[in-house]
């Protein structure tokens, strides 16, 4: 009988925590996705000249470029 009461009180506590979490999430201010996506697109367009994935890396400044070539005999 005692373990049934403890189990019941644990589930009530868990339900209360979940309810508190959901209330907190419901009260959060949300951003409109269209505004956020537009800002992201604008940022990417403004910084595309410095993006190495778009412009590439000069061979002279690439630290990962092999210094020597491998020769097999």
What the chain holds in terms of domains, given with CATH numbers, is: 2-55 (4.10.260.10)
First CA to last CA distance, the chain: 82
pLDDT at 63 exceeding the cut of 60: yes
What distance in Å separates the CA atoms of residue 35 and residue 39, rounded to the nearest whole number? 6
pLDDT at 1 exceeding the cut of 70: no
pLDDT number for residue 3: 63
The predicted-structure confidence for 2-57, as pLDDT tens digits, reads as follows: 566 667 788 999 999 999 999 999 998 887 777 788 888 898 899 898 888 888 87
What distance in Å separates the CA atoms of residue 11 and residue 14, rounded to the nearest whole number? 5
What distance in Å separates the CA atoms of residue 32 and residue 48, rounded to the nearest whole number? 25
pLDDT at 70 exceeding the cut of 80: no
Q: Is the pTM higher than 0.85?
A: no
């Amino acid at each position: 009988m005692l373990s049934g009461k403890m189990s019941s009180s644990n589930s009530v506590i868990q339900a209360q925590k979940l309810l508190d979490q959901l209330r907190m999430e419901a009260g959060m201010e949300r951003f409109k996705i269209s505004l956020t996506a537009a800002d992201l697109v604008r940022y990417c367009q403004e910084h595309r000249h410095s993006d190495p994935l778009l412009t590439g890396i000069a061979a002279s400044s690439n630290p990962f470029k092999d210094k020597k070539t491998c020769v097999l005999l």
